[in-house]
Amino acid sequence: MIITLVKKQSGIEFIKEMEETYKSINELEKLFERTNNMKMYVDLQNWKYYKDNLDETIETTESLITNKLSLSDLDLIILNTIKHEKPRSIRDLANKINKDVSNIQPKVKRLEDEGFIKFETGIKNSKIPYLTFDEIKLEI
């Protein structure tokens, strides 16, 4: 089975991601010269393109070939709630789906470890969950 996470990203978002990873184009150029890492070479080519095309939309996919799908019904409810109801913290997420926060926390941690969600810091250091993709595709 192939699980594919699909995300639409703008050129601006792509560049922000590159800046977080490499700081600047010059740094990336130096790093590539030192390491000959081909992923860096391609990131460099794409960065040069998107810096002049900030409004372009990129469809980004991440696929994993696996024989086991580890998403439970509750995981799907959590993902759905994060996408549509935009909870402001893990506690808020637990409230929205009428579950105890202590039961939700390990689930949310696993979804983060598996790359389905990320967190940004909110008011009073709350962790605001958000989805890292727009669609999940399953191929059998």
Partner 1 sequence: MSRKTQNKIMMGDKLIYSANTPNGWSIIIMPDNILIDNYHINKVHIHPKPEEHSCKVMLGKQNQNEIFEIIKEYINITHRFNIDELMELLK
Site residues, partner 1 (CB under 8 A)? 2, 36-39, 41-42, 45-46, 48-50, 56-65
CB of 127 to partner 1, least distance (A): 25
Q: Name the residue nearer to partner 1 (CB basis): 60 or 105.
A: 60
Closest CA to 140 of 76, 67, 75: 67
Q: Name the residue nearer to partner 1 (CB basis): 10 or 105.
A: 10
Q: Name the residue nearer to partner 1 (CB basis): 13 or 92.
A: 13
Which two three-digit tokens encode residue 127?
């962790």
CB of 37 to partner 1, least distance (A): 6
CB of 24 to partner 1, least distance (A): 20
CB of 125 to partner 1, least distance (A): 31
Q: Name the residue nearer to partner 1 (CB basis): 60 or 126.
A: 60
Burial 58-93 (b: 16+ CB within 10 A, else e): eebeeeeeeeeeebeeebeebbebbeeeebebbebb
Q: Alpha helices, DSSP H only, in the chain?
A: 11-22, 25-35, 38-50, 73-85, 90-96, 101-113
The answer to whether 104 and 95 are in contact (CB under 8 A) is no
